[in-house]
Amino acid sequence: MAYEKEVEVGVEAVLSAAKLCQSVRANIPDSIEKEDRSPVTIADFGSQAVICRALAQAFPNDPVVGEEDAAALRSSKMSEQLTQVTEYVKQQIPSVSTDDVTQWIDHGNGEASGRFWTLDPIDGTKGFLRGDQYAIALALLEEGDVKVAILGCPALSLDLAPPLDEQGLLFIAVRGEGTRVRSLSKDDYNAVRVAAPDDDEHLRFVESVEAAHGDQSLQNAIAKKAGIKSDSLRMDSQAKYGAVASGAAALYLRLPSPKKPDYRENIWDHAAGVIVVEEAGGRTSDMYGKPLDFSVGEKLFQNQGVVVSNGSLHEAVLAALNEPS
């Protein structure tokens, strides 16, 4: 198997981070706010610390582009939160100091160039706080191409064959080698595939819970034009990619909100999910059919919107999106 060490290290790191996140969620913390006022929890920082430590030890020359940094945690007004983060990290790594934790978090402040990892330590923080879906999304990129992904979805279960019907799933994808899934608790892997064109039962689409994340009215209209009759399934985080990859849904749309027409997506919000779907037989692009370009920094500056499908629906969706108005 290609990238065997990367997969081994990534899987163990994401499993450890998932345990930390579930431990935090059992005692739902107060959220704290970053400068952009999006919620971030003790679990975000702890998850990034645990994963970055593992990557730094195994691949010291690989930068990590993560969502969080420890600047706020180092301030005196957040000393209590830093202590909490450290205590949760100690459950996974017993010998650790607050300095260790902040250094590991800041290992995620690397630059997106050449070979690097990108990490969203908790994708879907609002879902995490609500007790709904969230994901731990880790991907390895080389020259802009996603090569490996480990996508942990601790709250996800799908009404399909085992192990997908167990709560807590881990998707692993390697370029050219397909997508596998296992439960968080059992080291048994199964290959997954996207929904077949004639699988009417799973001809449905997923979109974000948060209305601000996209144009939900347009997304529903496009899905109907592509032949999907059922209402959308709203789900937080890159768990949506897992739903498409496994055949539980056939389409995921994230189209720009009218209030933010020039918004560009962060790479850590999509890199892991993209390869998980593509290696399961699906297709991804922006709303104009262009491949998602991960080679130009921390955002998808060359793309607008995201379309993820089982493949057979993709051209119909793009045609509907680009109909003359």
Domain of 26, CATH number, reads 3.30.540.10
CATH (domain of 300): 3.40.190.80
Active site residue 125: yes
Residues 142 and 275 in one domain: no
Q: What per-residue confidence (pLDDT) applies to 27?
A: 85
Q: What per-residue confidence (pLDDT) applies to 322?
A: 87
State the pairing for strand pair 178-183/169-174: antiparallel
Residues 67 and 163 in one domain: yes
Q: By three-state DSSP, how is residue 76 classified?
A: helix
Residues 246 and 186 in one domain: no
Domain that holds residue 239: 200-321
Residues 216 and 294 in one domain: yes
> With the C-alpha atoms ordered 123, 120, 281, 291, is the resulting torsion angle positive or negative?
positive
Of the candidates 41, 44, 106, 118, the residue annotated as catalytic is 44
The parts of the chain modelled with pLDDT lower than 70 are: 29-31, 35-39, 325
Of the candidates 41, 118, 125, 284, the residue annotated as catalytic is 125
User: Helix-strand-coil percent breakdown of the chain, rounded to 5?
Assistant: 35, 20, 45
- Cα separations (Å) of 172 from 132, 153, 179, 232? 22, 11, 6, 26
Active site residue 102: no
Q: What per-residue confidence (pLDDT) applies to 37?
A: 53
Bridge partners (DSSP) listed for residue 285:
307
Q: What per-residue confidence (pLDDT) applies to 38?
A: 58
* Cβ-proximal residues to 254 (8 Å cutoff; 6+ apart), any chain: 207, 208, 213, 214, 219, 265, 305, 306
**Global pTM value:** 0.95
Residues 84 and 223 in one domain: no
Residues 245 and 164 in one domain: no
Q: What per-residue confidence (pLDDT) applies to 317?
A: 97
Q: What per-residue confidence (pLDDT) applies to 258?
A: 83
Quick one: how far is CA 93 from the chain centroid? 24
Residues 42 and 168 in one domain: yes
Instruction: Answer for the pair 119, 106: CB distance below 8 angstroms, yes or no.
Output: no
